[in-house]
Amino acid sequence: MLLVAAATPGSSQEPPARVTAAAFEVASVKPSVVRVSASVTIGPYSVRARTVFLMSLIREAHGAQYYQIVGE
């Protein structure tokens, strides 16, 4: 079986899809004084992490190792 496709001159093409960068509307980082087990909840439009080290979140988000992140 032979399948042939041809475009006719002057036919309209769909414009390329517009790609937008991810953006954060709100971020809140607070020190924790409560010692409970860590929890991370990922929803369709949000991520909520409780009693989790910020460095751990950054490392997971970027696929980095601990030695690749500098700072406190």
Q: What's the CA angle centered on 61, arms 55 and 66, to 5 degrees?
A: 40
Q: What is the mean pLDDT of residues 6-35?
A: 69
Average pLDDT over residues 28-50: 85
pTM above 0.75, yes or no: no
pLDDT band at 13 (very low <50, low <70, confident <90, very high): low
pLDDT range class, residue 12, cuts 50, 70, 90 = low
pLDDT value of residue 17: 73
Taking all residues of the chain, what is their mean pLDDT, rounded to a whole number? 76
Q: What are the C-alpha distances in Å from 41 to residues 10, 12, 30, 54, 68?
A: 51, 45, 17, 15, 25
